[in-house]
Amino acid sequence: MAEGVNIKRLAQELNISIATVSKALNDSYEISLKTKNRVWTLAKELNYTPNPAASNLRSHKTKTIAVVIPCVANNFFSLSIKGIEEIARQYGYHVLIYQTHENIKMEIEFTNSLLSGRVDGILTSVSSSEHNSEYYKTLVKKVPLVFFDRVYEDLEAVKITTDDYDIAFEATEHLIKCGCKRIAYLYGLENLPAGKARFNAYQDALKAHNIALDDELVIRYHEDEDVNFESVKQLLKAVKPDALFSSIEEFIIPSYLACKELNLNVPSAVKILSFSNMDTAKILNPSLTTITQPAFEIGREAAKCLFKILNKKELEERSIVLKSILIKRESTNI
């Protein structure tokens, strides 16, 4: 029934011009309420839906935004998408998803493919593999773009991030107050501001409490999860830390499994603290303390900013920083 119903057809049936129908459907002030009503009722009757391609071609508006992220199968990003989608619906927008898998080439390829007018704007959380701000420097001039969570420091752009430094500092202090002296750091997102801020906060907190830094206590994320497992195991055996501060949730599983294999009780022998948006972290109580980023809110804020830009509204801030939450666990409580 909806097949082949276009404004031309509506115009014919109502004996008015195509332009009038178009204006009526867009609720233009030029059209009388009476005519509008006639058009609207017939449109509903015939189940008319505008052809998006035609309207886009003419108006240069796609009613579509793109989300370019490393991966959807990740608690943080899937929650962000949920937030983005919610806002997009409010504005009647559609949401395209692109996963880069931390591959900078795909990131560029996808983003370029969006430049031909497929979307009105883009939300991006950059890949951690390489630094690529030159590319984005020219890109932000071509298309409305909002960065969220994973951003580049040296880039003039609209950014939604979290208080990585502050919360990591607080978390480190928490471990110290729990009596930990040899806190290992599982370093992720090295190439990004978020990763660096977390690591700096860890170091600064140790210094502030007169605890010597020790390079041996730091291990770096590897994309092969077996390697991470081995690294953590090696660390636990060789350096004997009393806590593991995991800066990304990908380190949680190898941490637990390594402790288990070495018969190290969590949290009495080794405490584990991690950035994480896993719901299941609740079950790991009392052994896991988590830093939870407001992923859903980040998605919402990022989308809101983008729509402000699209609607040419003034942004109060070009950079918004949301607060994370440190969820302490029973036995690690002070």
Partner DNA sequence: CTGTTAGCGCGTTCAA
Partner DNA sequence: TTGAACGCGCTAACAG
Q: Using CB under 8 A, which residues numbered 228 to 247 contact a second copy?
A: none
Q: Using CB under 7 A, which residues numbered 42 to 61 contact DNA?
A: 50-51, 54-55, 57-59
Nearest residue (CB) to DNA, 22 versus 100? 22
For residue 334, the partner it binds in DNA, a second copy, none, with Cβ less than 5 to 8 A by kind, is none
Q: Are 30 and 87 in contact (CB under 8 A)?
A: no
| Contact characters 256-295, a second copy, x per CB under 8 A | xx--x-----------------xxxxxxxx----------
Nearest residue (CB) to DNA, 16 versus 253? 16
Measured from the CB of residue 241, what is the shortest distance to a second copy in angstroms? 19
HSE, CB side, 13 Å, CA atoms: give it for residue 210: 0
Q: Report if residue 81 touches a second copy, rule: CB under 8 A.
A: yes
Q: Which region among 16-24, 124-132, 175-183, 184-192 touches DNA (by CB under 7 A)?
A: 16-24
Nearest residue (CB) to a second copy, 52 versus 179? 52
Residue 125's nearest CA partner among 95, 92, 159 is: 159
For residue 30, the partner it binds in a second copy, DNA, none, with Cβ less than 5 to 8 A by kind, is DNA
β partners of residue 160 = 148, 320
Residue 95's nearest CA partner among 111, 106, 84 is: 84
Judged by phi (left if over 0) then psi (alpha if -120 to 50, else beta), residue 11 lies in alpha
Cα 325-330-334 angle, rounded to 5 deg: 80
For residue 17, the partner it binds in a second copy, DNA, none, with Cβ less than 5 to 8 A by kind, is DNA
When binding is defined by CB under 8 A, the residue of 33, 34, 116, 311 that contacts a second copy is 116
Measured from the CB of residue 91, what is the shortest distance to DNA in angstroms? 16
Alpha carbons 230 and 220: distance in angstroms, whole number: 12
Measured from the CB of residue 64, what is the shortest distance to DNA in angstroms? 15
Q: Report if residue 7 touches DNA, rule: CB under 7 A.
A: yes
In angstroms and rounded to an integer, the radius of gyration of the C-alpha atoms of the chain is 26
Burial zone of 324 (CB within 10 Å; 0-12 exposed, 13-18 middle, 19+ buried): buried
Q: Are 255 and 261 in contact (CB under 8 A)?
A: no
